[in-house]
Amino acid sequence: MWLYRAMPLISELAVRSYYRVTVAGARLPSDGPVLIVANHNNSLVDPALVAAMAGRKVRFMAKSPLFSHPLIGWLIKGVGSVPVYRQQDDPGKMSQNLDSFRDVHAVLAKGDVVGIFPEGISHSMSRLAPLKTGAARIALGAAQQRGTDFPIVAMGLVFRDRDTFRSEAHVIVGESFRWHDLVSEATNRSAVRELTERIEQAMRAVSVNLERWEDEPVVRTAEAVWRAEFGADASPAAEVERLRITTEALQALRDGGANDWRDVALALKAHGRALHRLGLTPETLRSDVPLSAALRWALGRLPLLPLLPISLLGGVFFWIPKRITVAAAAYTARLEGDDTVVTHRVLVGGVAFPLWIALTSLAIGLAYGWMAGLLSAMLQPVWAFAALAVGERRQAMWTAVRRYFLRRFNARRLAPMRERQRDLAQRLQQLLARTVPSAS
């Protein structure tokens, strides 16, 4: 429990260092017991995201092997996690779940927040795994003690590119729902099944569930084309909602044997590949930037130029701990599964970079005196984050400049692509109207 109070701050530092995180949707109730249920595709990064974005301290249910894990066992215990004993881990310890459930019931009865991943596993599948009944049984057991129900909140964790450093991670917070009608039947299996189904519905509403990963380029291109051509809300929550609707429409049309959706899907794949080769997006393809606007934009970024050496030198200076982090994480991920890559990068990086800063500061201190070494130790973390920020802005600036000149001097080449995109948007609108009338 010694890390419990610091967990939100540590989690936020960790996830925001690796991802560009956005949070959208509802707010968690500010007091009283809450059960958070979330999808689980990214090992220990998922609880870190939930803890960072919840706005309240969260106690997690965690599978029992994590408590004795040689690298992270101390962390799991330190944040006050409650063990869950699974059949596949050790059938002989299943009876200990009664004690774990009692602990969680007491936490909820006290008015605290509990987080659980009802799929029961961290995985790399493209959709929710079948939910276990543990979340429903925990909620119903706590309700018996309290004599009433309490809010259950679904959190959707949606990653643009899960393993890529500084890619986007969206946290979508669903509206809390109550289930007072089931409290009187808490001991019945039918109540457990019914609450599990309600939890699954809430989780599906804030997550993207693809039939297979091959559908992702189609769905993301469809969403981006729709947004570019029809001016839809660009917020993360709205984006995830459109991705969800498009995914459901794709599945409905596929189940119904609609051949016209297959034609549109192939056209979307081809359009997405063509845009990627040019470094464009549906939005940048559609928009024209006047020369005056481009000049104003460029002049506004001139102050960035003197800072570029910070990024370049930072990349060189921190190359060794970066390579150690990537290599070590790749090795451990091969042993434990693809969904653990980012977890091990964060954990190894959390040791490698401070150790590198300590060793280089010690060397500077021995060479130039203890004051120089102390100053190095204080300034290096600032330098590292500044180099990261400047590097991101440098990359964004270069991409924007390249896109401007591409649009400016390749009008003839881009005109047919714009026509094709408009046609795709119209065909999408017609298909979505057939399967999801609210999308039109």
State the pairing for strand pair 20-25/113-116.
unpaired
Query: Do both 226 and 296 map to the same domain?
Result: no
Q: Are residues 102 and 191 in the same domain?
A: yes
Task: Identify the pLDDT of residue 280.
Answer: 92
Verify that 179 and 277 share a domain, yes or no: no
DSSP per residue, 240-260: HHHHHHHHHHHHHHHHTT-HH
Q: What is the layout of strands, in order, in the sheet containing 20-25? A: 20-25, 168-173, 152-159, 34-38, 113-116, 58-63, 82-84
Is residue 385, in this structure, part of any structural domain at all? Answer: yes
Task: Among 152, 174, 204, give the residue marking a domain's end.
Answer: 204
Q: What average pLDDT score do residues 254-259 get? A: 74
On the CB side of 164, CA atoms within 13 Å amount to 8
The answer to whether residue 289 scores a pLDDT higher than 80 is no
The answer to whether residues 197 and 120 belong to one domain is yes
Task: Indicate whether 294 pLDDT > 80.
Answer: no
pLDDT value, residue 28: 93
Reference 239, options 256, 247, 227, 251; nearest CA is 227
Looking at the domain assignment, is residue 313 inside a domain? yes
Q: How far is CA 71 from CA 66, 67, 134, in A?
A: 9, 10, 27
- Domain around 370: 291-409
Q: Are residues 43 and 146 in the same domain?
A: yes
What mean pLDDT is reported for the chain? 89
> 223 and 98, same structural domain?
no
Q: Do 184 and 43 belong to one domain?
A: yes
Give the per-residue pLDDT at 313.
93
Whether 357 and 246 share a structural domain: no
Does residue 225 sit in the same domain as residue 190? Answer: no
Q: Residue 222: pLDDT above 90?
A: yes
Say if residue 172 is in the same domain as residue 218.
no
Residue 436 within any structural domain of the chain: no
Long-range CB contacts (< 8 A, 24+ apart) of 262-267? 264/424, 264/427, 264/428, 264/431, 265/218, 267/420, 267/424, 267/427
Residue 426 lies inside a defined structural domain of this protein: no
- Tell me what the mean pLDDT of segment 185-197 comes to: 92
199 and 275 inside one domain: no
Number of folded domains that form the chain: 3
Tell which of 287, 306, 330 closes a domain.
Answer: 287
β-partners of residue 341 are none
Token output for 324: 């150690």
- pLDDT given at position 437: 61
What would the mean pLDDT of 208-222 be, rounded to a whole number? 90
Query: Is 238 inside a domain boundary?
Result: yes
Whether 261 is covered by a domain: the verdict is: yes
- pLDDT of residue 252 exceeding 90: no
Residue at 168: amino acid letter: E
pLDDT at residue 72 greater than cutoff 60: yes
Let me know if residue 346 belongs to a domain.
yes
Q: What residues pair up with 60 in beta bridges, in sequence order? A: 115
Among 143, 169, 204, the domain boundary falls at 204
- The stretches of 110-152 forming alpha helices (DSSP H) are 134-146
Are residue 403 and residue 347 in the same domain, yes or no? yes
- 338-387 per-position pLDDT tens digit: 889 999 999 999 999 999 999 999 999 999 999 999 999 999 999 999 99
Measured distance CA(6)–CA(326) in Å, rounded: 27
Helix (H, G, I), strand (E, B) or coil at 154: strand
Within a domain: 433: no
Q: Alpha helix locations (H) across 151-232? A: 189-204, 216-230
* CATH of residue 62: 3.40.1130.10
Calculate mean pLDDT across residues 41-50: 93
